[in-house]
């Protein structure tokens, strides 16, 4: 499919989605919808596109989208069916994340306040294999946060699948200090300077993790599954929660932070973490 045809196809799908489902017409929501359509098509194997090209495609299509022309747009059955499938996937993902968040809160954090955005981002790779883009993840976070209620979470009947996700998340917390060290190390990585963190790849994160684990400064027993989960979590978190600009900290400040993170990590290994 040519660039023009791809642009046209995504714009038609965006028009179809806006026509079938109510939207607030905010720029952020429109970008999130376009991004979700593209992600779904990538999941289905219908489109192969590099991350940087995907972001450019989304920006082009959103710039061409005009809400006042939605009602008069001609939507074929295939495109209409596509946006309904995308919507079902988004709703299912949102529900899965919320149920897992409820399970985690009820079973592992019943008396403690949690960072909802951070926790949702940690849950996402456990329930969705596709790497969501910044706009999609941010929109999903806000949707889940508006539906989350602490009292409801504590009283919610937890299904086995959500409990299993909550248990995986709880187990991953024993490596929280390693995760922070990995984030700091990535921000100090020269290959990331002067480029958007939205283009951060799992491959680069994985390489940085391997480098840390191979260092004599650390002694940690983390299995391959936990490593792979951490790579997905850190990639998503840096894509979403960090600024797209180059890190504002100086190399000396980041180096000092890394030394502190290493010492904190070493100290954490002497503390046993017990999960309910």
| List of long-range contacts for 109-118, beta carbons under 8 Å, 24+ apart | 110/154, 116/141, 116/144, 116/145, 116/148, 117/141, 117/145, 117/241, 118/237, 118/241
Tell me, yes or no, whether 184 and 261 share the same domain: yes
- Asked if residue 136 is part of any domain, the answer here is yes
> CB under 8 Å to 209, separation ≥6 — which residues?
182, 227, 230, 231, 234
Tokens of 269: 């290994």
Residue 9 exposure: Cα atoms within 13 Å on the Cβ side: 14
Tell me, yes or no, whether 100 and 62 share the same domain: no
- Asked if residue 274 is part of any domain, the answer here is no
> Distance between CA 187 and CA 243 in Å, rounded?
11
- What's the sign of the alpha-carbon dihedral 58, 61, 62, 63? positive
**With contact defined as beta carbons under 8 Å apart, do 216 and 270 qualify?**
no
pTM: 0.84
Domain that holds residue 15: 3-75
Q: pLDDT value at position 24?
A: 80
Tell me, yes or no, whether 177 and 240 share the same domain: yes
Structural domain total, the chain? 3
> Distance between CA 13 and CA 33 in Å, rounded?
10
- Asked if residue 207 is part of any domain, the answer here is yes
Query: Can you give the pLDDT of all 276 residues of the chain as single tens digits?
Result: 567 888 999 999 999 999 999 788 789 999 999 999 999 999 998 888 888 889 899 999 999 999 988 988 889 999 999 999 999 999 999 999 999 999 999 999 888 888 999 999 999 999 999 989 999 999 999 999 999 999 999 998 999 999 999 999 999 999 999 999 999 888 877 566 555 666 678 998 999 999 999 887 677 889 999 999 999 999 999 988 764 334 445 445 555 655 565 666 555 544 333 333
């Amino acid at each position: 499919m040519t660039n023009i045809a791809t642009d046209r196809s995504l714009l038609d799908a965006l028009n179809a989605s806006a026509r079938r489902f109510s939207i607030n017409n905010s720029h952020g929501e429109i970008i999130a919808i376009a991004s979700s359509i593209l992600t779904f098509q990538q999941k289905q194997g219908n489109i192969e596109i590099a991350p940087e090209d995907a972001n450019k495609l989304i920006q082009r299509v959103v710039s061409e989208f005009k809400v006042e022309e939605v009602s008069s747009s001609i939507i074929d059955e295939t495109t209409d069916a596509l946006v309904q499938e995308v919507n079902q996937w988004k709703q299912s993902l949102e529900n899965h994340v919320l149920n897992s968040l409820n399970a985690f809160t009820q079973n592992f954090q019943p008396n403690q306040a949690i960072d909802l955005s951070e926790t949702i981002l940690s849950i996402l790779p456990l329930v969705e294999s596709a790497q969501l883009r910044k706009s999609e993840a941010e929109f999903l976070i806000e949707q889940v946060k508006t539906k989350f209620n602490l009292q409801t979470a504590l009283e919610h009947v937890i299904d086995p699948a959500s409990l299993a996700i909550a248990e995986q998340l709880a187990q991953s917390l024993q490596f929280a200090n390693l995760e922070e060290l990995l984030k700091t190390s990535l921000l100090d990585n020269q290959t990331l300077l002067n480029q958007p963190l939205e283009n951060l790849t799992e491959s680069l994160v994985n390489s940085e993790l391997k480098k840390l684990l191979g260092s004599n400064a650390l002694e940690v027993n983390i299995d391959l599954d936990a490593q792979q989960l951490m790579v997905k979590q850190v990639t998503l978190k840096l894509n979403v929660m960090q600024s797209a600009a180059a890190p504002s900290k100086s190399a000396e400040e980041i180096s000092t932070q890394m030394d502190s993170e290493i010492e904190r990590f070493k100290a954490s290994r002497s503390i046993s973490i017990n999960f309910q």
